[in-house]
């Protein structure tokens, strides 16, 4: 349960899994250093996602540390919970297939040098 | 690769195989041997198992497609009911050590994974174990040539058990093994005989079962088209430096969004810079929650990932990983055919 938006999260997306030793999905995070760590992690993830999303003319922002907001240049938005929801939403806003094997996309990613 | 086992959960082994490939005989033989006494078995057809096993239950396959979902992301309602019933009984009679689900000859194992890993109750009590696929040594080649389902079953397997090896010639068995290796170089393969004294070991094995007398044959060069491989291709990749999990998760989630149906299997161990590897295991769109090991099982300390794909060329994936290397923080290297074992 998210206390901020009262959203009930039944399923954690696999990409959100904590991969450090001794942590699992039941690890509870309340304030302190772990909370800062979690926020920094989230910020890093968002930064990486934006390297990819900018190629499709999209931008991801944090929303209250609990969800993300995906926008296109015209201001259309989609709220996404995790990377499982991100790509279908990106495809909807970009109005074209989002595919990491697409040669045109890869050429533009290489040209950007992995920066945004 | 050790089975994905989160402590305290009951592993669910999937037993699949083409019609008439000897699934039931293998299971029946295994159940007669004492080691599987506390194993719950879920089958589609009661009559076929000529055995009064006290934990046997029968289901009618009922698959519920989720809105707009693909076939792999669907829930097997029959299994939900059977597994919940099992939990209910376990409260009185004690927990089973494991569950074996025998699928029909044409059933797809991915909905079973989806059901076990995503159901709000079942995910806390059960975990997916290995996918065991039986292949008939006499008719296996014919099935692989004629039926796409048979190729897919071999492609998603963790362990391929060749059955009826006593009535097939050594040459034809070798040809079949070589064909199966080309389809799925990451799977273990073993031969079973009707008098196999350790059939139960196949299901009871905590670690992947490897027949001591028969080492796995050398895989042929994968990635090359064989006329009857059903368009399956495989790729094994190693990375030169520790990977960034966030970046890898981003890339893989994007790949599965676009091509999940065609990524039949993805397995690997990732070096994320910690003390031990993180295990990766997926079937189509469904990725098992990554599991952290405390230490590396051997000296080879690097990320290694195997993809078994349909209709995707290995070079396409390599090109994508290369273009993503600045994001991933590591450069990919394609491995030779002999280095598929995970």
Q: Does B124 touch chain A (CB under 8 A)?
A: no
Task: Output phi, psi for A17, to 5 deg.
Answer: -60, 140
Least CA distance to A46: which residue of chain B? B246
B116 touches chain A (CB under 8 A): no
pLDDT at residue B287, rounded to an integer? 92
Distance (Å) of CA B264 to CA A33, B22, B155, B158, B285: 40, 23, 7, 12, 9
How far is it, in rounded angstroms, from Cα B282 to Cα A84?
14
The predicted complex's ipTM stands at 0.88
pLDDT at B108: 79
For chain B, positions 31-90, list CB contacts with chain A under 8 A. none
How far apart CA B6 and CA B142 sit, in angstroms, is: 39
pLDDT tens string for chain B (342 positions)?
444 444 588 999 999 998 888 888 888 888 888 788 888 888 876 555 555 555 666 666 665 655 455 666 778 888 898 899 889 888 888 888 889 988 877 777 888 998 999 888 999 999 999 999 999 999 999 999 988 888 999 999 999 999 999 999 999 999 999 999 989 988 999 998 887 777 888 887 754 433 333 334 444 444 444 554 668 899 999 998 999 999 999 999 999 999 999 999 999 999 998 888 898 999 998 999 888 888 887 777 889 999 999 999 999 999 999 999 988 888 999 987 656 666
Q: Taking CB atoms and an 8 Å limit, are A106 and B245 in contact across chains? A: no
CA atoms within 13 A on the CB side of B251: 24
- Overall fold of domain B10-204: Rossmann fold (3.40.50)
Alpha-carbon distance of B220 to B182, in angstroms, equals: 6
Residues of B in contact with A51 (CB under 8 A): 327
Q: What DSSP character marks residue B274?
A: S
pLDDT tens column, A35-93:
788 888 899 999 999 999 999 999 999 988 889 999 999 999 999 999 999 999 999 99
H/E segment holding residue B249: helix B245-259
Q: Establish, for the pair of chains A and B, how many residue pairs have beta carbons separated by less than 8 Å.
A: 97
Q: Please give the Cα distance from B283 to B288 (Å, whole number).
A: 8
DSSP strands (E only) in B97-253: 98-102, 126-136, 159-163, 188-191, 232-239
> Which residue's entry shows tokens 């046997």?
B56
Q: What is the pTM of this model?
A: 0.84
B272 and A19 within 8 Å at the Cβ level: the answer is: yes
Domain B232-334 indexed as CATH 3.90.1150.10: no
pLDDT of residue B95: 86
Instruction: Select the residue of A10, A13, A25 nearest B120 (Cβ to Cβ).
Output: A10
Q: How far is B146 from chain A (nearest CA, A)?
A: 30
Q: How far apart are CA B259 and CA B270, in angstroms?
A: 21
Choose among B250, B287, B319: nearest Cβ to A106: B319
Interval B260-306: pLDDT, tens: 999 999 999 999 988 888 989 999 989 998 888 888 877 778 899 99
Min Cα distance A3 → chain B (Å) is 20
Please give the pLDDT value at position A54: 95
Of the CA atoms within 13 Å of residue B113, those in its CB half-sphere come to: 24
Q: Which residue of B has its CA nearest to A111?
A: B323
CA distance A79 to A91: 13
| A1-40 pLDDT tens trace | 555 555 566 678 888 876 665 555 455 555 677 778 888 8
- The answer to whether the CB atoms of A19 and B323 lie below 8 A apart is no
Residues of A in contact with B272 (CB under 8 A): 19
Domain boundaries, chain B: 10-204, 232-334
C-beta atoms of B254 and A52 within 8 A: yes
Q: How far apart are CA B310 and CA B257, in angstroms?
A: 15
B261 close to A (CB below 8 A) = no
Q: Which residue from B minimizes the CA distance to A11? A: B118
- Each domain of chain A, given as residue ranges in start order, spans 46-116
């Amino acid at each position: 349960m998210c206390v901020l938006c009262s959203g009930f999260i039944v399923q954690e997306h696999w990409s959100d899994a904590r991969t450090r030793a001794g942590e699992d999905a039941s690890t509870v995070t309340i304030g302190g250093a772990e909370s800062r760590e979690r926020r920094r992690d989230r910020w890093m993830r968002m930064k990486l996602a934006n390297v990819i999303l900018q190629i499709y003319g999209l931008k991801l922002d944090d929303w209250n540390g609990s969800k993300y907001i995906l926008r296109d240049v015209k201001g259309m938005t989609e709220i996404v919970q995790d990377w499982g929801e991100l790509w279908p939403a990106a495809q909807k806003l970009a109005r074209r297939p989002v595919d990491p094997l697409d040669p045109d996309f890869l050429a533009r990613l290489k040209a950007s040098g992995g920066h945004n | 690769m050790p089975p994905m086992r989160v402590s305290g959960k009951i592993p669910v082994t999937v037993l699949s195989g083409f019609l008439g490939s000897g699934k039931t005989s293998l299971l029946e033989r295994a159940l007669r041997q004492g080691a599987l006494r506390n194993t719950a078995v879920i089958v589609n057809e009661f009559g076929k198992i000529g055995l009064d096993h006290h934990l046997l239950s029968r289901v009618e396959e009922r698959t519920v497609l989720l809105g707009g979902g693909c076939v792999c992301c669907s829930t097997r309602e029959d299994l939900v009911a059977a597994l919940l019933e099992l939990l209910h009984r376990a409260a009185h009679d004690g927990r089973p050590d494991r569950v074996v689900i025998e699928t029909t000859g044409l059933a797809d194992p991915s909905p079973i994974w989806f059901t076990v890993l995503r159901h709000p109750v079942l995910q806390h009590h059960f975990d997916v174990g290995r996918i065991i696929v039986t292949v008939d040594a006499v008719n296996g080649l014919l099935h692989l040539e004629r039926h796409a389902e048979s190729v897919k079953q071999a492609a998603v397997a963790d362990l391929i058990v060749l059955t009826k090896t006593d009535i097939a010639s050594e040459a034809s068995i070798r040809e079949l093994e070589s064909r199966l290796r080309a389809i799925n170089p990451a799977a273990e393969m073993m031969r079973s005989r009707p008098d196999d004294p350790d059939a139960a070991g196949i299901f009871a094995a905590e670690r992947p079962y490897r027949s001591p007398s028969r080492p796995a044959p050398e895989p042929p060069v994968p990635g090359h088209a064989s006329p009857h491989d059903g368009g399956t291709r495989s790729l094994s990749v190693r990375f030169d430096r520790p990977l960034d999990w966030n970046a890898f998760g981003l890339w893989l989630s994007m790949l599965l969004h676009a091509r999940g149906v065609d990524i039949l299997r993805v397995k690997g161990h990732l070096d994320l810079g910690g003390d031990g590897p993180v295990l990766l295991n997926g079937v189509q769109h469904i990725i098992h929650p990554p599991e952290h090991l405390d230490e590396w099982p051997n000296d080879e300390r690097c990320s290694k990932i195997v993809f078994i794909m349909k209709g995707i060329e290995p070079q396409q994936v390599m090109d994508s990983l290369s273009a993503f290397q600045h994001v991933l923080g590591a450069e990919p290297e394609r491995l030779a055919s002999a280095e598929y074992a995970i």
